[in-house]
Amino acid sequence: MCHIPSLKAYPRIVFGSCAGFATQDEIREESDSNVMWIHMRLEHAEKPFHLFILGGDVVYADPIFVKLKEERKARGIDETDTTGLLEEARAKYFELYISRWRQPEQAYMLSRVPSFMMWDDHDIFDGWGSLRKITPFMKEMYKAARENFNLFQLRGLRQNAAVQHG
């Protein structure tokens, strides 16, 4: 159930970033990676939020980059050969969003509080945007990450707008 503030009340806005963690090491050390989500759910139950702003690192996609490189290398595919990479990466990013957002803690908040999301490097892979050399492999990974960002974080709005406006 979505809550709308009355005209006489100030809206309650919650901000989240990095899944509540500063580093990948912190995520690995924490026994429950949904601590932030549990805390927000309890706060929301006590006094509802009206808007949820997610400021990047909505999902940690870093392992996808590494895993796809390793899997393709194990199959004898050279890193310069990007044949089929986009499809493989699309599926991996899609699976990542589904696996994260279907967790009860995240699903609860994302289904009850309207959100505004932005992405950063970890939603693609670590370092994206600050790398000096971008390989064809990286470009394909970015395309797949962007498509899933549009689908999940923007709910397909950007793709629809692009189709409507040429």
Position of tokens 């009860």?
104
pLDDT (tens digit, 9 = 90+) per residue, 26-64? Answer: 666 666 778 889 999 999 999 999 999 999 888 889 999
- Burial class from Cβ neighbours inside 10 Å (0-12, 13-18, 19+) for residue 89 reads buried
The enclosing H or E element of 75 equals none
70-122 pLDDT, tens per residue?
999 999 999 999 999 999 999 999 999 999 999 999 999 999 999 999 988 98
Q: Quote the pTM value.
A: 0.83
Give the integer Cα–Cα distance in Å for 166 and 152: 22
CA 47 to chain centre: 26
